[in-house]
């Protein structure tokens, strides 16, 4: 969240403020930490990558004359003798939203300098992400054992496999990288690096709880992408 007051300079709100910020011959994103601005720019470029994947999926699915596999059957699970559609995907969605909520709270407690609470919530987020990746690995191995390949599958249109592995694989990679960073930041939080303003490993920047918000932006983005994948790939 931008700090509206900077060195006695009163910033105007709304579009007038935007015009002033942009034309101010100084830093454009006033009150925004540079790391946060750069994370947003990175996320914007990542948005374009995922959009390209989803648009190519739309194009592939829309232009094939063969029936597309029925997602609610393909991703259904057989539990206690009942066929439940999309069960695993629904659980994965709820796990990811849970971890997104704990991350949002971690950012809040970080800014309140509540070290313990912040650390535990980041750890909870990391474990949520780990569960998600685990379930995705299960889903992949299940589909592979059923004969789904990037070039063929027993359910319908051949393109299904390549889009599935590409899109969920790329998203899963993002989650995995996020989990690694969540564990690192949980350690750094518990160790008090943000209270002591200790410098990082690869940077001369002094530790600050804004780093938790930057990490949170990445994690929420991963959740955001899943919202779109869930809607377009699994539900559509």
Partner 1 sequence: MSETKEKEQSTTHKIGIYLWIWGLLFVLSFFSYMVDWYQFQGMLRWSLILVFMFAKAGLIMAFFMHLYWERYALVNVLLWPMTAIACFIFLMVAEFEYTVFTRLFYFVVGG
Q: 């940077």: which residue's tokens?
A: 203
* 112 binding partner 1? (CB under 8 A): yes
* 65 binding partner 1? (CB under 8 A): yes
* 68 binding partner 1? (CB under 8 A): no
* 236 binding partner 1? (CB under 8 A): yes
Task: Look at residue 66 and give its three-state secondary structure.
Answer: coil
* 162 binding partner 1? (CB under 8 A): no
Q: How far is CA 8 from CA 4, 48, 169, in A?
A: 10, 38, 48
Please choose, out of 89-97, 123-131, 134-142, 162-170, the segment that lies near partner 1 by the rule CB under 8 A: 89-97
The b/e string for 41-69 (b: 16+ C-beta within 10 A; e otherwise) is: eebeebeeebeebbeebeebbeeeeeebb
- Closest distance to partner 1 from the beta carbon of 201 (Å): 26
* 85 binding partner 1? (CB under 8 A): yes
Instruction: Quote the radius of gyration of the chain (alpha carbons, Å).
Output: 21
* 133 binding partner 1? (CB under 8 A): no
Read off the tokens for 167: 């899109």
Residue count (the chain): 236
* 77 binding partner 1? (CB under 8 A): no
What CA–CA distance (Å, rounded) separates 140 from 165?
Answer: 8
Site residues for partner 1 per CB under 8 A: 1-5, 11, 13-15, 17-18, 21-22, 28-32, 37, 40, 44, 47-48, 51, 55-56, 58-60, 62-63, 65, 72, 85-86, 90, 93-94, 97, 100-101, 103-105, 108, 111-112, 213, 216-217, 220-221, 223-224, 227-228, 230-231, 234-236
């Amino acid at each position: 969240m931008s700090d509206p007051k900077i060195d006695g300079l009163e910033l105007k709100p709304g579009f007038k403020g935007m015009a002033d910020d942009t034309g101010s011959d100084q830093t454009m994103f006033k009150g925004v930490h540079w790391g946060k601005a750069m994370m947003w720019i990175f996320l914007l470029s990542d948005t374009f990558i995922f959009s390209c994947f989803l648009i190519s999926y739309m194009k592939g699915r829309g232009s094939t004359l063969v029936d597309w596999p029925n997602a609610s059957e393909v991703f259904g699970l057989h539990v206690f003798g009942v066929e439940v559609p999309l069960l695993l995907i629904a659980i994965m969605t709820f796990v990811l939203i849970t971890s997104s909520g704990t991350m949002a709270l971690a950012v809040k407690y970080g800014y309140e300098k509540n070290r313990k609470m912040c650390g535990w919530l980041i750890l909870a987020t990391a474990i949520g992400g780990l569960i998600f990746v685990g379930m995705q690995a299960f889903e992949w191995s299940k589909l592979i054992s059923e004969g789904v390949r990037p070039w063929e599958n027993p359910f319908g249109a051949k393109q299904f496999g390549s889009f599935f592995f590409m899109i969920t694989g790329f998203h899963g990679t993002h989650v995995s990288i996020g989990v690694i960073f969540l564990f690192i930041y949980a350690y750094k939080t518990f160790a008090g690096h943000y209270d002591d303003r200790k410098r990082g490993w690869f940077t001369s920047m002094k530790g600050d709880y804004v780093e938790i918000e930057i990490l949170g932006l990445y994690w929420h983005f991963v959740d955001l992408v899943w919202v779109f994948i869930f809607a377009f790939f699994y539900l559509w």
